[in-house]
Amino acid sequence: MRHSFRGRLFRSFLVVSLVPLLVCSTMLLQIFRLRMTSAARQEMAGQLSAVSHTLDTAFYAFDQTAAKLRNSALVAGALAGTKGEDTLVYQEFFEAVGQAKGQARFDLYDLEGRWRYSTDLRGTDLPTDWGVLYAAAGAEEGLVYRVSEDISNTDAPQLQGAALLRDEQGAPAGYLVVSLYYSHLHQLLEGVYDSQNDLVLLSRYWRPVYALQPSLADSLADRLRVQLLDGQGPRETSEGFFHSIAWNEASGLYMVLQRPQIFTQETMQLLYTVSLACAVVCVAISILMSLKLSRQLFRPIDRLHRGIGEVVQNHLDVRVPPEGDDELAELAQRFNGMVTALKCNQEQLVDNQRELNQAQIRMLQAQLNPHFLCNTLDTMKWISKINRVPQVALMSTNLADILRFCISPEEFVPLRREAEILDRYIEIQRIRMSGAFTYAMDLPPELEDCLIPKMILQPLVENAILHGLEGRDDGAVRVAAREEGGLLRITVSDNGPGFPPELAAGRCRRESRHLGLYNVDTILTKYYGGDCGLFLSNEGGAVVTAVLPVVREEEEMC
């Protein structure tokens, strides 16, 4: 299925604009919720620490009161009914209670459970065969606490503690009872924790002891008790609330702090709804902006697409009008320039093809003339033999071989073949100059199959004969081939006066007297690069060295 560029561009705009927004908004909501939750837990832990410290201080004062009264002989004697005046007993009793008087009610009972002394004006007797006095009688020392059966009854103690008092001989003398009412606990804990939170005190068996809202204590205690029975343990969170739980060792109570969740389910739904509404608005805005941007980008691209289609159909007169001064307008201008250049190149290609055809025709026509000349030279050879003129016959034969070699289609020939054609040329020159020079060829057998461009040695030897041996009766021309470092070096030397100083010891340059040398250097440079070519020097005469790579007949020419 083919997807248009405009559709992909439109979808890309939507993804780029919406995905970061949705991801960031979701992450921000979650991070904000987690940070607020963490801060609330830390705050609740601090408040529970303050409540625990308050309870520790109060119950430590209760233990100190019990310790003072347990060592008081006056109190023990008064409870036993043997000695002691009530005034002195109350004085010592209140001194032992001290600052703890406002935190709880303190009562003294005899062994039969009769109320005898108190920090309050009224008191009632307590049974000794059950309840808090019964528990205190079985304890060796310290206060033993019991929880009220109904914390909704604020007239009854919410928590009672009792300690057994003994006389000087260690015999039981009576009981100290510490009673904490709702008012005492409220006064003790008021201001210790945040008022927006609810504090619930539970016994070790998860029974309610104190709460501002008794119904909350019952429901919370029941839920925690069920969790314990299920083996789950108390969880710190529930629907709509944070719960922080701690154990106070001094009182033997669990402290449960309940705080409404900052992000309740309704609040989170509201936030998600608002986020979704914002996303919908952003989607609408993104769609409008994406349509506008994609249209602005697609219009010039569509024109370029249609223009390229016209160019494919070889309609090179098409032009794309640029709009604005942005990159797309610059692209349209470059497209127009490309089409104009393409049209010019196409016209030039047609002209070049026409000229190539004409050059091929001229070449074919030019090849006809050498064939005619070769046939004519063959005729001259036979006429010379008939008339017994061997020099003319030999020159005709050699010249015909040279012409046939020149018009052959090969561009590269073996070095031995080039040497054979050079021998034909030397024979012609010896007849012309009546043997006024000597010629030597030094060609190692291993280099005979090296491929070289056709007809590069004859111009070098011709230059040596015409310019180097001019006016000499003892001229000598020597051709030598050597391989050095993967390069073929062909040297043509003579015993003439040599090159002028401005030409020697350097690359061949174009001079009017040495046009053949320049042409050979150009051929070698075109075929093999600037490191190859002709190099001129003087060593007892002119020396021309052709340098080219070693390429065997079995190797393919590049």
Each of the 558 residues of the chain gets a pLDDT tens digit; together they read: 445 656 666 677 667 766 777 777 778 777 877 787 788 788 888 888 998 999 899 888 888 888 888 888 888 888 887 666 788 888 888 888 888 888 899 999 988 889 888 888 788 888 988 888 888 888 777 788 888 777 777 778 888 899 988 888 888 888 999 998 888 888 888 888 877 788 888 888 778 888 877 777 777 777 776 766 665 555 544 456 777 888 888 888 888 888 777 666 677 677 778 777 877 787 777 777 767 766 666 677 777 778 788 778 877 777 878 777 777 777 778 878 888 888 888 888 888 888 876 766 555 544 444 544 555 555 566 666 666 657 666 677 777 777 777 777 788 999 999 999 888 888 888 877 776 788 999 999 999 999 999 888 888 888 888 887 777 778 899 999 999 988 999 999 998 888 887 777 677 766 545 678 888 888 888 889 888 999 988 888 889 999 999 998 765 544
3-state secondary structure of 480: strand
Query: What was the pLDDT predicted at 478?
Result: 93
What is the structure's pLDDT at 365?
47
Of residues 453, 456, 444, 461, the one with CA closest to residue 414: 453
What is the spatial distance between Cα 72 and Cα 82, in angstroms, rounded to a whole number?
Answer: 14
Cα–Cα distance for residue pair 159/253, rounded to 1 Å: 10
Beta carbons within 10 angstroms of residue 382's beta carbon: 11
Asked whether the whole model's pTM tops 0.75, one would answer no
Q: How far apart, in whole angstroms, are the C-alpha atoms of residue 276 and residue 25?
A: 10
What pLDDT does residue 493 have?
A: 92
CA 517, distance to chain mean position in Å, is 63
How far CA 472 is from CA of 5, 207, 420, 438, 495, in Å, comes to 84, 140, 26, 11, 9
Measured CA to CA, the distance from residue 533 to residue 494 in angstroms comes to 19
pLDDT, position 379: 59
**How many angstroms separate the CA atoms of 160 and 141, rounded?**
16
Q: What angle do CA 82, 86, 91 make, to 5 degrees?
A: 120
Q: Who's near 182: CB < 8 A, 6+ residues apart?
A: 151, 154, 158, 210
Residue 486 phi, psi dihedral angles, 5° rounding? 80, 5
Q: What is the pLDDT of residue 512?
A: 45
